[in-house]
């Protein structure tokens, strides 16, 4: 059996993975490098992202390698997959840059940056994995480091959050493993491609097992996407972790999770199956619960967590249908969500770094941000409006259109109406935060200058939101 | 010429954004500078709009293929009057802001929001791509929310602004769902291409029309989805009220005229009786509430509910006459409600409140100009011939009396009767206002007026002349002239919309 | 050729026991053991199916090894965290976590 | 007027536009000066009269533009055409001239009457607009134009009645007048819409042709539409059941009343119905209803007029009665005959009613009011009023050969002819008209006797001493009303002032030259106006009167007048109605309490409904506002599930897997 191997195609996965080793090696050689590990990590992650660029240049052809024969490849990076790979790596790089200025014990820096690299590598890989084995390995590679990253803050709340994350992730992994086993049992193949699925679908008994497998896999991934009811860890982990790691959980992890989900669903859609009602229900419940809980949340980080839950519902909204372009729609929405969320986290990091973490947790402590830090406040407002999907942030609106399009096209009216109601609730959530920013500031304002790198990232984020608002296709076009 | 189309949208939006940014600096850009910039911006916008309406260029460019949205802008007979109205009101509200500046600091933000709303509305009326239409529809939301929330009546603004923005966003998202469904099933997002049902089955059309009508009905507002409107108007600053009534409500009916009536004829046919009844209930409901409403500004807002009912009724009749009536009614109500909100806003600030139960000196003696404007506005509101309001209502009633053959004739005749009764109610409340505000009272009470508790607790930013003068009189005078011109020469407007209406319904019938 | 029923029954029993352990135990380590039981059932299922199917890649067996490896890695992280929790709080009762918010 | 037939501006346009233009110019350009305003208003009014006369000349010569354009076709999408053209024919030209004349006289009189009024400017402008609106209705050849003029008149009447808006009564009367007529206009609106949409045109000749000749035109629709129009006409012309707004409208200044009562507002109903007469004749049930209501109104209003304690109100009720006669006249005509009898009465009525109102305005200036105690004997005291008042009352009573007699006799004649053919409504109309003729003579006689009463001088002096005295208690109530020497506060006798006793009235206000001339013209027309029946413009059979009918009517009128004269003997003010119970008079002056009925049957229920609706809406609003709370409580409830403990998360995961699994397997 010959297996082809193309390092160029594998580079997005290999560079961060090897980069993790490199960071640890560098630490062994130069123990006092400190925060520069993060710079190395960021550079490596960007390099990995750069390796994805050919996927967007070469046209529509999926990039494949590790092929068993002409049709069966274990690594296929198609357009949405490449987009998610790039997004995973870039967002991880941004997280690395956000962490960079933060003071932390020197011995932890290399480990933490290695963990980020590892998780990013897993996230990048899972998007292209086409067999159960590597899929399982890579998805856990993307998950397990996050537990450690959350726990690193070493506060009691962080440990609690990590424990919550850990237990949920373990159980989810167990569910995933069961799902994978059932998949294997149904199809007799460890490949996640359409042929095996078609073969299994022919046999009604095998089909039933296959459906159960798919559903278990969706449930297992629901944890990673923070879908209700697999979401309970989200607020705890966000509130416990340091702010940039929160961004990692909210953005990078989500990219990886959706990539993993798409790999499975892509195989299943060849069935031309009716809409996945389970996904529709989960999406509806996620949106609603996320928004309702966010509405009564008084902590900004928890609010972001609940917002993630609600947005996750929006992300999988198109996947409840069999309409063309559902995959692209979900990917596109997630890209916009990721951009907006990471910009929001960047602003929160900036404020937290300049004024202390205590000033970013409570919503009320944002009072007067518009006067205190107009740039940061405007950026945050635009990011929040992107999440709410309202102009001036056109890109958020376009994302909403993108997500609703397959649903409306498929005639899932009840789901569309639930989504519309949630668009309203979501707006209420984000407006609450914006209102808090508009209030009069508390008198004891600590007004340190923000770190330049943070400021640069925030400006960059605002620019990115602005540019994509004028030309949303720049971002959405990545997904094909 | 195509640049004119883009300029008409980009100039107000960019100017608005700049003004808002200017406010963020410390120290903020001066009030006068902001105002001059805003005036320039709005005048340039108006010039662009006039040029666009005159030369009718068309821009069709790919924008976001991921959602099938094209940057397709054009002007036709249906949108041209609305565009001119919007641009004109844009200039007027900015001019008026000099007379009635925001009650707190933040001139730039206030003016910027006004311009943004104008720009968004212009974009809405220019858009010829269904999804672009939705996008433009949403642009006005946040600035309008800011206007109400930031510059409104402190007593009501929190809940009113939230109600406005949440209600509207629900409506527009529902509209989006409807648009997306239609666009997907029809296979095109081009508004002109959608006309005629695009081969959709009756059931599909009905579902889509229902969703679209609920969505747009919130914006119009259609009874019983109206409850955001009185609150928003009560709380909004004068400029905001004017734009809200004069422009934003029109976007809803424009949407129905563009996206529902010609696009989903079979669906509208099935839903017309229901919507017609709702509209008629709205007419009577609004009229009745106005008879007992004590807040003057709220009363005008309620009258909007009633008057938009006429427009919707016309749209639901399914005839060319009805469509013409609706388009006319739209413009007429835009002018009249803008006029009334300018006047009433000014009165509210002068009085320090707008409770009708408080005795005040009669307007005809103390402030004859404002009194005259109020009389003209109220007369137009009750549909007096010679003023703008008359034609829309007359034609609407006529069209509803003889609706399209597919509508239940008897029901529609009852609706026509209800609408005619609505005009009686309109007379009732319009004259009630005139009786209390314009005619009643004696000069002796004027001296006592500032000492009333209501006046004492309200903020009084700057003393204003008793009667309108300068910019205020100019702004009000222009609208009075507009109302008279449209009332005396309705042919100007009807002639301009007729070809487009004929074309639309002809294509739809094919 | 052995019958499939027995291994499959064992799979079900293992998975059920594991789920029970996950839900009923308050001690974090015991919860971990519950998870391990479910994973074991998944592994067993894969091996069973792999042995009945004529898969040239021997995917069932390979997958099982993968799962076991991942489980090991997870348990390593998990135990490290359990130690951290114990240090922070003095017990490893999962029902009491999150009682105090920082 | 040398205007070609196809010139864009025709005399008909001028007759309409010039008064309106005058109004606009007055409002826009004139700031303070009443003099300038008066010049403009009277000039415009005169030019309007000139235009009307030019139109008359053209019509007589036969080279008139029959249907001049106005603002062009309304583009209504092709389903319905609205050419918006005028329609000039014989009788409309006559009415046009009458309206212009009355308007001009009213303008000149108002200049004198309201000289010191600070709102004279608005008044003059409104009168101008009012005239224009009425001319539009008269000359309209299009239902829409008719409606435009119709509604504008309503509005102008609102402004005129509420002119002295400091007084609550004036405000209420204005409000009531507009609302009552507007209420009646709602069916009119629907009726016009129905007629126009059915005929696919708003052009009146087209509409008539369609409804009369088209075989598939629905008779029910026609009946409903005509019913609506008749309803509107009844409202505007103050007929039962809408009659009560008109007497209240006396709150307006007297020139306004003259305008409203004589030539415009109330007469518009006749004009419109005359235009659409063929349709009314076609809808038989409606015709019966019209005769019943209008005829009933004539009788009731004439009776009420007899009891009024305010002579201006007497005139108001007499207007109601007279307009009823016109409408009845339209109702009793046989199919195919033109409205010329009613039009003749309209023109005659315009002349003598305007004359009477303006004379009462003059009298008001002199004696300060029109209630019986004040105005009693005014003719004795101011003989210059005598002749013209006499002409007015004689014309009103229908004494030959004055104009009132001519027109009323023609109407009776046509009713009798048609009744003889066995037409029910005509018979009914004949009876009611007959009663009215007698009653009219009676109340006209009563009014004349009051103004002619001779004992006025003494009582007037009593009153003056009463008004001049410093403290009322020093003047005994008995002395006040006795022919006793007047005393001051110390009981000393005071001499009667020279100027009060003397017959020299130079100090009394007198209308100027223009208004006096106007009054003269009106009285002249009231006398000889009957000659109009001989004009070629009216198609009337006046040469073969029914002498028996005339004799009978005259006999009855004389009898009634004599009875009134006898009854008035020995009363304080020469008021014949003093013989009748006080309660009747009170009831009559309250218009039979119809106002209470309006309030009780319409206003209160509507307001109650409005309050209900408002509270319902408040409830709806509360419902909407409760949503956030609902969502919050939902959140609170779900937050109970989120204990922040890992175990609850695990439970949710397992539960979720179960739910999702079941859903997935069951629904796939």
**Which chain D residues contact residue B319 at CB under 8 A?**
77, 79
Is the pair C, B in contact (3+ CB pairs within 8 Å)?
no
Q: Which residue has the higher pLDDT, D510 or A417?
A: A417
Among partner residues A133, A147, A181, which is closest to C81 by beta-carbon distance? A147
Residues 6+ apart with CB under 8 A from A201: A207, A210, A271
Residue D33 placed within a domain: no
- The Cα diameter of chain D in Å comes to 118
Whether B457 shows a pLDDT value over 60: the answer reads no
Q: Which residue has the higher pLDDT, B252 or D262?
A: B252
B451 — alpha (psi -120 to 50), left (phi > 0) or beta? alpha
C-alpha span between B272 and B265 (Å, rounded): 10
CA distance C3 to chain A (A): 15
> Containing domain of residue C75, as a range?
5-94
- Determine whether D611 is exposed, middle or buried from the number of CB atoms within 10 Å of its CB (0-12, 13-18, 19+): middle
Among partner residues B292, B385, B420, which is closest to D607 by beta-carbon distance? B292
Whether B451 shows a pLDDT value over 50: the answer reads no
- Asked which of D561, D579, D597 is the last residue of a domain, the reply is D579
- pLDDT in the model for residue D149: 92
Under 8 Å between Cβ of A233 and A157 = no
Under 8 Å between Cβ of A117 and A17 = yes
- pLDDT in the model for residue A273: 58
Looking at the complex, does the CB of residue C26 fall below 8 Å from at least one CB of chain D? yes
Mean pLDDT, to the nearest integer, of A432-445?
A: 77
Among partner residues B64, B139, B174, which is closest to A420 by beta-carbon distance? B174
C-alpha span between B72 and D447 (Å, rounded): 78
pLDDT tens-digit readout, A170-204:
888 998 998 988 888 888 888 887 777 877 777 87
What is the SS3 string spanning D430-491?
Answer: HHHHHHHHHHHHHHHHHHHHHHCCCCHHHHHHHHHHHHHCCCHHHCCHHHHCCCCCCECCCC
Mean pLDDT, to the nearest integer, of D438-442?
A: 91
Whether D32 shows a pLDDT value over 80: the answer reads no
pLDDT tens-digit readout, B264-289:
888 888 999 999 999 999 999 999 99
Mean pLDDT, to the nearest integer, of D555-564?
A: 90
Binding partners of A (≥3 Cβ pairs within 8 A): B, C, D
**Which chain C residues contact residue D644 at CB under 8 A?**
97-99, 101
Under 8 Å between Cβ of A119 and A141 = yes
Residues of D150-186 as b/e, b for ≥16 C-beta within 10 angstroms? bbbbbbbbbbbbbbbbeeeebbbbbbbbbbbbbbbbb
Among partner residues D644, D650, D651, which is closest to C98 by beta-carbon distance? D644
Under 8 Å between Cβ of D509 and D365 = yes
Whether A383 shows a pLDDT value over 90: the answer reads yes
Provide the 3-class DSSP secondary structure of residue B383.
coil
β-partners of residue B355 are B295
- pLDDT in the model for residue A153: 82
- pLDDT in the model for residue B124: 93
Where residue D646 falls among pLDDT bands split at 50, 70, 90?
A: low
Q: Which residue of B has its CA nearest to D619?
A: B227
Among partner residues C42, C70, C77, which is closest to A148 by beta-carbon distance? C77
Residues of B255-280 as b/e, b for ≥16 C-beta within 10 angstroms? bbbbbbbbbbbbbbbbbbbebbbbbb
Is the pair D, B in contact (3+ CB pairs within 8 Å)?
yes
B219: closest CA among B260, B170, B259?
Answer: B170
Where residue C53 falls among pLDDT bands split at 50, 70, 90?
A: confident
Under 8 Å between Cβ of B267 and B275 = no
A431: closest CA among B264, B144, B124, D73?
Answer: B144
Residues 6+ apart with CB under 8 A from A433: A300, A303, A363, A366, A380, A384
What is the SS3 string spanning D150-185?
Answer: HHHHHHHHHHHHCCCCCCHHHHHHHHHHHHHHHHHH
C-alpha span between B424 and D181 (Å, rounded): 9
Residue C101 placed within a domain: no
Residue D113 placed within a domain: no
Under 8 Å between Cβ of B283 and B219 = no
Whether C100 shows a pLDDT value over 50: the answer reads no
**Which chain B residues contact residue D158 at CB under 8 A?**
431
**A63 phi and psi angles, rounded to 5 deg:** -90, 125
CA distance D613 to chain A (A): 28
Which run of H or of E encompasses B58?
A: strand B58-64
- pLDDT in the model for residue A223: 87
Provide the 3-class DSSP secondary structure of residue A35.
coil
> Containing domain of residue D597, as a range?
585-610
Provide the 3-class DSSP secondary structure of residue A428.
helix
Provide the 3-class DSSP secondary structure of residue B70.
strand
- Determine whether D557 is exposed, middle or buried from the number of CB atoms within 10 Å of its CB (0-12, 13-18, 19+): buried
C-alpha span between D26 and A440 (Å, rounded): 55
pLDDT tens-digit readout, D477-487:
444 444 445 54
Looking at the complex, does the CB of residue A53 fall below 8 Å from at least one CB of chain C? no
Average pLDDT of chain B is 86
Provide the 3-class DSSP secondary structure of residue C93.
strand
Looking at the complex, does the CB of residue A318 fall below 8 Å from at least one CB of chain B? no
Is the pair C, A in contact (3+ CB pairs within 8 Å)?
yes
Residue D235 placed within a domain: no
Mean pLDDT, to the nearest integer, of B7-23?
A: 89
C-alpha span between D129 and D135 (Å, rounded): 10
Q: Which residue of D has its CA nearest to C97?
A: D645
Pairing mode of beta strands A63-67, A73-77? antiparallel
C-alpha span between A184 and C46 (Å, rounded): 7
Binding partners of C (≥3 Cβ pairs within 8 A): A, D
- pLDDT in the model for residue D479: 45
**Which chain A residues contact residue D637 at CB under 8 A?**
none
Number of domains in chain D: 2
C-alpha span between D554 and A292 (Å, rounded): 90
DSSP assignment, residue B62?
E
Q: Is the peptide bond before B33 cis (omega within 30 degrees of 0)?
A: no
Pairing mode of beta strands B69-74, B58-64? antiparallel
Q: What is the pTM of this model?
A: 0.90
Number of Cβ atoms within 10 Å of the Cβ of A443 = 6
**Which chain A residues contact residue D632 at CB under 8 A?**
295-296
Residues 6+ apart with CB under 8 A from A391: A385, A397, A469, B120, B135, B138, B139, B141, B142
ipTM of this model?
A: 0.87
D110: closest CA among D57, D49, D16, D41?
Answer: D41
- pLDDT in the model for residue A284: 93
**Which chain A residues contact residue D654 at CB under 8 A?**
171
How many distinct helices (H) and strands (E) make up chain C? 3, 0
DSSP assignment, residue D532?
G
D324: closest CA among D417, D429, D404?
Answer: D429
Whether B420 shows a pLDDT value over 70: the answer reads yes
Number of Cβ atoms within 10 Å of the Cβ of D517 = 13
Sign, CA dihedral D124-D126-D130-D132, equals positive
Whether B28 shows a pLDDT value over 80: the answer reads no
Mean pLDDT, to the nearest integer, of A381-403?
A: 90
- pLDDT in the model for residue D508: 65
| DSSP per-residue string spanning A176-217 | HHHHHHHHHHHHS-SB-SHHHHHHHHHSHHHHHHHHHHHHHH
Residue C87 placed within a domain: yes
Which run of H or of E encompasses B366?
A: helix B363-366
Whether D192 shows a pLDDT value over 80: the answer reads yes
Of A290-299, B29-38, D12-21, D532-541, the range with the lowest mean pLDDT is D532-541
CA distance B490 to chain A (A): 37
pLDDT tens-digit readout, A59-75:
667 788 888 777 778 88
Mean pLDDT, to the nearest integer, of B24-40?
A: 83
Under 8 Å between Cβ of D259 and D358 = no
CA atoms within 13 A on the CB side of A125: 28
Binding partners of D (≥3 Cβ pairs within 8 A): A, B, C
Sign, CA dihedral B173-B178-B180-B181, equals positive
Number of Cβ atoms within 10 Å of the Cβ of D68 = 21
Average pLDDT of chain D is 83
- Does A289 contact D638 at a Cβ distance shorter than 8 Å? yes
β-partners of residue B465 are none
Where residue A208 falls among pLDDT bands split at 50, 70, 90?
A: confident
C-alpha span between D610 and B292 (Å, rounded): 6
* pLDDT over 70, % of chain D: 90
**How long a stretch of residues is chain C?**
102
A235: closest CA among B317, B468, D643, D636?
Answer: D643
CATH number at residue C18: 1.10.287.3510
**C101 phi and psi angles, rounded to 5 deg:** -95, 135
Residue D526 placed within a domain: yes
- Does C49 contact A239 at a Cβ distance shorter than 8 Å? no
CA Rg value for chain D: 31
Sign, CA dihedral D456-D457-D461-D462, equals negative
Under 8 Å between Cβ of B83 and B122 = yes
- pLDDT in the model for residue A274: 56
Residue C99 placed within a domain: no
Which run of H or of E encompasses B72?
A: strand B69-74
Number of domains in chain C: 1
């Amino acid at each position: 059996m010959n297996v082809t191997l193309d390092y160029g195609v594998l580079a997005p996965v290999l560079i961060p993975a090897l980069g993790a080793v490199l960071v640890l090696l560098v630490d062994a050689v130069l123990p006092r490098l400190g925060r520069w590990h993060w710079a190395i990590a960021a550079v490596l992650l960007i390099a990995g992202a750069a390796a994805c660029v050919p996927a967007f240049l070469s046209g529509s052809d999926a990039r494949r390698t590790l092929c068993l024969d002409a049709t069966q490849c274990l690594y296929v990076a198609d357009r949405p997959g490449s987009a998610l790979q790039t997004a995973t790596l870039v967002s991880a790089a941004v997280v690395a840059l956000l962490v960079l200025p933060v003071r932390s014990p020197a011995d932890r820096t290399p480990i933490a940056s290695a963990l980020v690299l590892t998780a990013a590598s897993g996230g990048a890989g899972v998007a292209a994995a086409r067999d159960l084995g590597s899929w399982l390995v890579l998805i856990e590679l993307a998950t397990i480091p996050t537990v450690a990253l959350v726990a690193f803050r070493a506060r009691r709340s962080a440990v609690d959050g990590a424990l919550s994350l850990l237990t949920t992730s373990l159980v989810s992994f167990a569910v995933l493993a069961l799902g994978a086993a059932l998949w294997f049992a149904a199809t007799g193949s460890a490949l996640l491609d359409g042929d095996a699925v078609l073969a299994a679908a022919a046999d009604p008994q095998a089909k039933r097992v296959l459906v159960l497998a798919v559903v278990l896999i969706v449930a297992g991934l629901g944890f990673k996407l923070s879908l209700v009811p697999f979401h309970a860890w989200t607020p705890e982990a966000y509130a416990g972790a340091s702010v940039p790691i929160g961004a990692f959980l909210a953005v990078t992890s989500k990219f990886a999770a959706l990539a993993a989900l798409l790999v499975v669903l892509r195989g299943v859609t060849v069935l031309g199956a009716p809409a996945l009602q389970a996904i529709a229900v989960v999406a509806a419940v996620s949106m609603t619960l996320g928004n309702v809980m966010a509405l009564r949340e008084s902590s900004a980080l928890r609010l972001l967590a609940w917002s993630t839950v609600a947005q996750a519902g929006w992300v999988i909204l198109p996947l409840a249908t069999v309409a063309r372009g559902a995959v692209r729609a979900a990917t596109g929405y997630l890209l916009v969500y990721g951009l907006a969320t990471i910009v929001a986290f960047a602003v929160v990091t900036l404020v937290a770094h300049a004024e202390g973490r205590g000033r970013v947790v409570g919503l009320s402590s944002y009072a007067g941000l518009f006067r205190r830090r107009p740039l940061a406040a405007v950026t945050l407002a635009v990011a929040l409006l992107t999440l709410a999907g309202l102009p001036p942030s056109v890109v958020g609106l376009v994302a909403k259109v993108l997500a609703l399009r397959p649903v409306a096209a498929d005639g899932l009216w009840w789901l569309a109406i639930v989504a519309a109601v949630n668009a309203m609730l979501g707006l209420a959530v984000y407006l609450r935060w914006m209102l808090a920013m508009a209030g009069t500031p508390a008198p004891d304002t600590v007004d340190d200058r923000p770190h330049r790198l943070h400021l640069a990232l925030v400006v960059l984020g605002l620019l990115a939101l602005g540019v994509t608002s004028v030309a949303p296709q720049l971002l959405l076009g990545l997904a094909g | 010429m195509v640049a004119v189309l883009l300029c008409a949208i980009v100039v107000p939006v960019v100017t608005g954004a700049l003004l808002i940014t200017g406010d963020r600096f410390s120290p903020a850009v001066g009030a006068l500078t902001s105002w001059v910039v805003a005036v320039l911006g709005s005048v340039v916008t108006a010039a662009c709009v006039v040029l666009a309406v005159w030369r009718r260029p068309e821009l069709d460019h790919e924008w976001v293929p991921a959602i099938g949205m094209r940057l397709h802008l054009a002007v036709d007979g249906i949108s041209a009057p609305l565009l001119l109205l919007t641009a004109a009101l844009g200039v007027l509200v900015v001019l008026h802001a000099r007379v009635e500046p925001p009650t707190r600091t933040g001139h730039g933000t206030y003016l910027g929001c006004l311009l943004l709303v104008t720009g968004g509305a212009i974009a809405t009326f220019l858009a010829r791509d269904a999804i672009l239409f939705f996008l433009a529809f949403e642009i006005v939301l946040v600035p309008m929310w800011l206007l109400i929330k930031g510059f409104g009546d402190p007593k009501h603004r929190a809940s009113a602004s939230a109600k406005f923005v949440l209600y509207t966003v629900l409506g527009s998202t529902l509209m989006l769902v409807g648009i997306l469904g239609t666009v997907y099933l029809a296979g095109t997002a081009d508004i002109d291409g959608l006309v005629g049902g695009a081969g959709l089955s009756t059931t599909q059309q009905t579902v889509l029309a229902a969703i679209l009508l609920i969505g747009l009905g919130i914006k119009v507002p259609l009874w019983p989805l109206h409850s955001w409107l009185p609150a928003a108007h009560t709380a909004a600053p004068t400029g905001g009220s004017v734009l809200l009534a004069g422009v934003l409500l029109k976007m809803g009916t424009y949407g129905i005229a563009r996206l529902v009536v010609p696009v989903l004829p079979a669906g509208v046919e099935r839903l017309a009786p229901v919507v017609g009844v709702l509209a008629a209930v709205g007419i009577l409901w609004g009229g009745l509430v106005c008879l007992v409403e004590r807040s003057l500004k709220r009363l005008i807002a309620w009258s909007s509910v009633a008057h938009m009912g006429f427009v919707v009724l016309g749209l639901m009749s399914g005839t060319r006459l009805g469509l013409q009536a609706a388009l006319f009614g739209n413009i007429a109500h835009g002018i009249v409600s803008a006029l009334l909100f300018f006047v009433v806003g000014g009165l509210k600030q002068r009085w320090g409140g707008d409770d009708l139960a408080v005795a005040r000196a009669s307007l005809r003696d103390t402030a004859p100009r404002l009194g005259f404007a109020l009389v003209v506005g109220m007369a137009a509101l009750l549909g007096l011939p010679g003023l703008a309001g008359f034609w829309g209502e007359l034609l609407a009633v006529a069209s509803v009396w003889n609706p399209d053959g597919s509508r239940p004739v008897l029901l529609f005749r009852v609706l026509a009767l209800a609408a005619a009764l609505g005009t009686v109610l309109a007379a009732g409340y319009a004259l009630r206002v005139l009786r209390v505000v314009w005619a009643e009272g004696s000069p002796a009470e004027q001296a006592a007026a500032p000492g009333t508790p209501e006046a004492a607790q309200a903020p009084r930013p700057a003393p204003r002349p008793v009667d309108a003068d300068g910019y205020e009189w100019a702004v009000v005078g222009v609208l009075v002239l507009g109302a008279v011109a449209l009332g005396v020469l309705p042919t100007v407007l009807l002639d301009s919309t007729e070809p487009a209406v004929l074309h639309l319904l002809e294509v739809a019938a094919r | 050729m052995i019958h499939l029923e027995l291994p499959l029954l064992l799979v079900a029993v293992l998975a059920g026991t594991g789920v029970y352990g996950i839900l009923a135990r308050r001690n974090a380590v015991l919860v971990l053991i519950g998870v391990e039981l479910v994973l074991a059932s998944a592994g067993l299922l894969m091996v069973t199916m792999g042995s009945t199917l004529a898969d040239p890649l021997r995917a069932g067996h390979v997958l099982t090894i993968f799962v076991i490896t991942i489980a090991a890695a997870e348990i390593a992280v998990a135990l490290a965290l359990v130690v951290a929790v114990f240090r922070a709080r003095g017990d490893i009762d999962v029902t009491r976590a999150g009682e105090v918010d920082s | 007027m040398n205007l070609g037939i196809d010139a864009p501006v025709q005399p008909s346009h001028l007759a309409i536009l010039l008064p309106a233009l005058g109004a606009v110019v007055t409002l826009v350009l004139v700031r303070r000066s009443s003099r300038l305003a008066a010049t403009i208003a009277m000039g415009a009014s005169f030019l309007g009269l000139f235009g009307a006369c030019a139109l008359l000349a053209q019509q007589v010569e036969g080279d008139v533009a029959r249907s001049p354009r106005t603002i062009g076709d309304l583009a209504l999408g092709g389903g319905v055409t609205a050419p918006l053209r005028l329609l000039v024919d014989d009788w409309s030209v006559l009415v046009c001239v009458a309206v212009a004349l009355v308007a001009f006289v009213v303008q000149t009189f108002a200049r004198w009457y309201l000289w010191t009024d600070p709102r004279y400017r608005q008044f003059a402008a409104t009168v101008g607009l009012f005239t224009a609106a009425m001319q539009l209705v008269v000359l309209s050849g299009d239902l829409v134009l008719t409606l435009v003029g119709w509604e504008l008149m309503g509005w102008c009447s609102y402004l005129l009645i509420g002119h002295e808006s400091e007084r609550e009564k004036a405000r209420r009367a204005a409000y009531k007048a507009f609302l009552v007529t507007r209420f009646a206009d709602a069916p009119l609106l629907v009726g016009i819409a129905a007629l126009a949409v059915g005929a696919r045109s708003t052009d009146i000749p087209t509409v008539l042709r369609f409804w009369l000749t088209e075989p598939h035109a629905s008779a029910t629709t026609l009946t409903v539409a005509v019913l609506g129009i008749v309803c509107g006409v009844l409202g505007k012309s103050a007929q039962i059941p809408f009659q009560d707004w008109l007497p209240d409208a006396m709150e307006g200044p007297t020139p306004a009343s003259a305008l409203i009562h004589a030539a415009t507002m109330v007469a518009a109903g006749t004009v419109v119905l005359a235009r659409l007469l063929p349709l009314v004749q076609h809808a038989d049930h409606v015709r019966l209803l019209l005769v019943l209501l209008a005829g009933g109104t004539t009788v009731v209003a004439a009776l009420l007029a007899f009891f009024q304690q305010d002579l201006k109100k007497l005139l108001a009720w007499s207007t109601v009665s007279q307009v009823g006669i016109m409408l009845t006249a339209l109702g009793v005509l046989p199919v195919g005959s033109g409205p010329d009898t009613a039009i003749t009465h309209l023109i005659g009525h315009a002349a003598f009613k305007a004359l009477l109102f303006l004379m009462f305005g003059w009298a008001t200036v002199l004696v300060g009011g029109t209630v019986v105690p004040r105005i009693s004997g005014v003719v004795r005291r101011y003989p210059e009023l005598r002749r013209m008042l006499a002409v007015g009352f004689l014309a009103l009573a229908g004494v030959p050969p004055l104009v009132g007699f001519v027109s009323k006799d023609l109407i009776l004649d046509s009713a009798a002819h048609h009744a003889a053919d066995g037409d029910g409504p005509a018979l009914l109309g004949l009876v009611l008209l007959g009663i009215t003729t007698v009653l009219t003579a009676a109340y006209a006689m009563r009014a004349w006797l009051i103004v002619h009463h001779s004992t006025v001088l003494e009582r007037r002096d009593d009153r003056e001493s009463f008004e001049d005295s410093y403290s009322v208690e020093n003047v005994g109530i008995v002395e006040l009303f006795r022919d006793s020497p007047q005393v001051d506060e110390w009981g000393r006798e005071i001499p009667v002032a020279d100027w009060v006793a003397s017959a020299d009235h130079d100090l009394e206000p007198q209308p100027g030259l223009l208004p006096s001339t106007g009054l003269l013209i009106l009285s002249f027309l009231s006398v000889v106006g009957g000659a109009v029946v001989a004009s070629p413009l009216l198609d009337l059979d006046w040469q073969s009167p029914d002498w028996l009918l005339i004799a009978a009517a005259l006999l009855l009128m004389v009898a009634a007048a004599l009875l009134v004269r006898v009854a008035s003997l020995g009363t304080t003010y020469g008021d014949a109605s003093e013989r009748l119970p006080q309660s009747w008079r009170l009831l009559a002056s309250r218009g039979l309490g119809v106002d209470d009925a309006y309030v009780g049957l319409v206003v209160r229920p509507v307001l109650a409904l409005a309050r209900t609706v408002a509270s319902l809406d408040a409830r709806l609003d509360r419902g909407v506002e409760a949503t956030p709370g609902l969502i919050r409580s939902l959140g609170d409830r779900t937050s109970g599930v989120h204990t922040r403990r890992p175990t609850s998360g695990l439970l949710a995961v397992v539960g979720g897997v179960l739910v999702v699994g079941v859903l997935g397997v069951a629904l796939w």
